[in-house]
């Protein structure tokens, strides 16, 4: 196995494109090294992107935030401006693993690992985040919900890597939130999860919303019907019930010892309701 640490994006892309065998991107390594050790993968080349200029930064841009692909999740929790603008995204990112894992893991890696239960992904989808993809061709921006195509699979082509995740400026009277269900109190993988991002009008009525569910389908799902159920409301009980129903319908979960189909369908709706209430309060609604 060959280990490479390019210092430019161009070199990173070149290494990934021109590799003869199986090439893997290394950012935090909290999934990659585990998969190597478990012999699920046998890389020929590892391209460590932590020394690529700019990828270790959270940049405040004219459009919002750009989170470099090598920024560890712990750093997101320490970034006051990001936490203020996107508390749901940050709380989701800070639920991944332990403090030790937080010191390494990245949201780009969480996305590319393509687990249906990835914690940061529903929050990013709800927030309308975009992935900036560098590769041999032109740079492209893809909505986060379009990246993962199946468990363990992404739409990234050979030679491509995510260089950053972009979050827009949060609109006035907006809030986001993320919740997950796990059987323990910490350090576990979601059995069901929900991310909600919403914007209110000046009367406290939900003007726009995005609802995303995790761990209840092969990929994270953006549930447009759940958003529709609460748009035009102040999250009255009837609207929240409709939303939960839409969530249950959008589920296509596995049935395993961690959660039955029925349980996941029910809990995804409950989590979405609770996350919506938190997001509503964060948006200044009463």
Partner 1 sequence: MSGIAVSTTINGDEVEYLCQADETLLDVLRDRLEMTGTKEGCGTGDCGACSVMVDGRLVCSCLVLGAEVQGSTIETIEGMADGADLHPLQQKFIEHAALQCGVCTPGFLIAAKDLLERNPNPTEEEIRFGLAGNLCRCTGYDKIVRAVQDAAQEMKG
Q: Which stretch binds partner 1 (CB under 8 A): 6-14, 16-24, 59-67, 92-100?
A: 92-100
The residues, any chain, with a CB within 8 Å of residue 15's CB and separated by 6 or more, are 4, 6, 23, 45, 47
* Residue from 19, 30, 174, 219 in contact with partner 1 (CB under 8 A): 30
Q: Which stretch binds partner 1 (CB under 8 A): 33-41, 143-151, 216-224, 233-241?
A: 33-41
36 near partner 1, rule: CB under 8 A? yes
11 near partner 1, rule: CB under 8 A? no
* Shortest Å distance, C-beta 280 to partner 1: 26
98 near partner 1, rule: CB under 8 A? yes
Q: Which stretch binds partner 1 (CB under 8 A): 28-36, 107-115, 191-199, 225-233?
A: 28-36
**Closer to partner 1 at the Cβ: 34 or 171?**
34
101 near partner 1, rule: CB under 8 A? yes
* Residue from 12, 19, 29, 148 in contact with partner 1 (CB under 8 A): 29
* Shortest Å distance, C-beta 200 to partner 1: 32
Residue that has been written with the tokens 């958003």 in this structure: 227
* Shortest Å distance, C-beta 184 to partner 1: 9
205 near partner 1, rule: CB under 8 A? no
**Closer to partner 1 at the Cβ: 33 or 172?**
33
41 near partner 1, rule: CB under 8 A? no
| Rounded (10°) CA dihedral 263, 212, 40, 162 | -170
What is the SS3 assignment for the chain? CEEECCCCHHHHHHHHHHCCCCEEEECCCCCHHHHHHCCCCCCCEEEECCCCCCCCCEEECCCEEEEECCCCHHHHHHCHHHHHHCHHHHHHHCCCCCHHHHCCCCHHHHHHCCCCCCCHHHHHHHCCCEEEEECCCCCEEEEHHHCEEECCEECCCCCCEEEEEEEECCCCCEEEEEEEECCCCCCCCCCEEEEEEEEECCCCCEEEEEEEEECCCCCCEECHHHHHHHCCCCCCHHHHHHHHHHHHHHCCCCCECCECHHHHHHHHHHHHHHHHHHHHHHCCCC
> x/- contact string, 173-202, with partner 1 (CB under 8 A)?
-------------xx---------------
264 near partner 1, rule: CB under 8 A? no
Instruction: List the interface residues with partner 1, window 68-87 (CB under 8 A).
Output: 72, 74
Q: Which parts of this chain interact with partner 1 (CB under 8 A)?
A: 1-3, 5, 26, 28-30, 33-34, 36-38, 46, 48, 50, 72, 74, 97-101, 103-104, 186-187
């Amino acid at each position: 196995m060959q280990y490479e640490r390019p210092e430019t994006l161009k070199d990173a892309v070149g290494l990934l494109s021109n590799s003869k065998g199986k090439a893997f991107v290394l950012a935090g390594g909290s999934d990659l090294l585990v998969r190597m050790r478990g012999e699920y993968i046998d890389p020929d080349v590892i391209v460590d992107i932590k020394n690529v200029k700019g990828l270790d930064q959270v940049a405040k841009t004219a459009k919002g935030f750009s989170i470099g692909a090598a920024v560890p999740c712990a750093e997101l929790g320490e970034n006051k401006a990001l936490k203020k603008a996107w508390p749901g995204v940050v709380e989701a990112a800070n639920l991944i693993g332990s403090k030790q894992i937080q010191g390494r893991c990245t949201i780009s890696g969480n996305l590319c690992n393509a687990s249906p239960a990835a914690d940061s992904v529903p929050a990013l989808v709800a927030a309308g985040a975009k992935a900036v993809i560098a590769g041999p061709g032109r740079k492209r921006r893809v909505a986060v919900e379009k990246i993962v195509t199946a468990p363990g699979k992404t739409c990234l082509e050979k030679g491509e890597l995510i260089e950053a995740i972009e979050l827009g400026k949060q609109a006035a009277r907006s809030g986001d939130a993320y919740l997950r269900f796990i059987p323990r109190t910490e350090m576990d993988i979601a059995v069901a999860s929900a991310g909600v991002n919403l914007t209110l009008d000046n009367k406290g009525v939900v003007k726009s919303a995005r609802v995303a569910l995790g761990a209840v389908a092969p990929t994270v799902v953006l549930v447009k019907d759940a958003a529709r159920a609460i748009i035009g409301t102040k999250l009255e009980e009837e609207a929240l019930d409709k939303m939960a129903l839409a969530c249950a319908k959008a589920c296509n979960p596995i049935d395993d010892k961690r959660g039955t189909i029925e349980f996941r369908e029910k809990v995804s709706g409950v989590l979405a309701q609770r996350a919506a209430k938190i997001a509503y309060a964060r948006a200044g609604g009463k």
